[in-house]
Structure 1
Amino acid sequence: MTRFTLLAGAALLALATSAAASSFVATTDTLGGLVANASESTSDITSSFNDDKIVLAARDDAASFVASAGGIRGAQLEAALRHIRTQAPQVRADDLQLAQAILAL
């Protein structure tokens, strides 16, 4: 092999490593932002609804929903999810996140 071929191969390897590292950083930044937004949404829920009778009545249904990974959806949980989304439309959380927040009350 010529010296030029070895240098070109080393340069390509360095570029590939740099691209992979920057891609990893961008991915972890994106995931970190999503987790922070979800956490902020659920903390808004817990502070706003900690004495709401509709939401508190759904705790057992929320526990079943979380334990079954969404397989069991009780009537009280459904009512609480509708109530939360009506009272706090700015909250951007899925049903599982809301059920977990209800359990945190």
Structure 2
Amino acid sequence: MSRLRLLSAAALLAVAANSHATSFIVTTDSIVGGLKASSDATSDVSSSFRDDKIVRAARDDAASFVASEGAIRGVKLESALDHIRQQTPQLNATDAQLAQAILTI
């Protein structure tokens, strides 16, 4: 009987370890996928708006926005965000992602 309990405990431990490893892999894949999408969005914005006067004028406001974690929203940044969203309506990026993209220009 104790041998049966030992084998049952070993099997239960193996199943539990496998489920934790699988959830770790799924979580890691989700995070990496999200970071890649964010990186692609900021890369698309920074390359297509490199010479745009409205976007370039918003760099200081974008820096304040990023540094204050969104608390400071300047007029030039708001104008640039509206301009970017009008030019690229298919872009699904947050204000923070767009502000970081403006800083990379």
Aligned-partner Cα distance in 2 for 1:104–1:2:
65
Name 2:93's counterpart in structure 1. 93
Look up the equivalent residue of 1:50 and give its one-letter code: R
TM-score of the aligned structures, taking structure 1 as reference length: 0.97
| Separation of aligned partners in 2, 1:98 and 1:90 | 14
Q: How does 1:79-90 map to 2 (within 5 A)?
A: 79-90=79-90
Equivalent in the alignment of 2:58: 58
Runs of 5+ consecutive residues of structure 2 not aligned to the other structure: none
Alpha carbons 1:81, 1:98 under 8 Å: kept? yes
Match of 2:22 in 1: 22
1:92 Cα deviation from its structure 2 partner = 1.4
Partner in structure 2 of residue 8 of structure 1 = 8
Percent of residue pairs bearing the same amino acid type? 61
Match of 2:43 in 1: 43
Please state how far the C-alpha of 1:22 moved relative to its aligned partner: 0.6
The Cα RMSD (Å) is 0.8
Alpha-carbon distance, 1:63 to partner: 0.5
Structure 1: which 4+ aligned runs deviate by more than 4 Å?
none
**1:57 is matched by which residue type in structure 2?**
A
CA distance in 1, matches of 2:36, 2:77: 24
Q: CA deviation at 1:20?
A: 0.4
* Displacement after TM superposition at 1:59 (Å): 0.5
The whole-number CA distance in structure 1 between the counterparts of 2:33 and 2:7 is 39
1:80 to partner: Cα distance: 0.3
Aligned to 1:69: 69
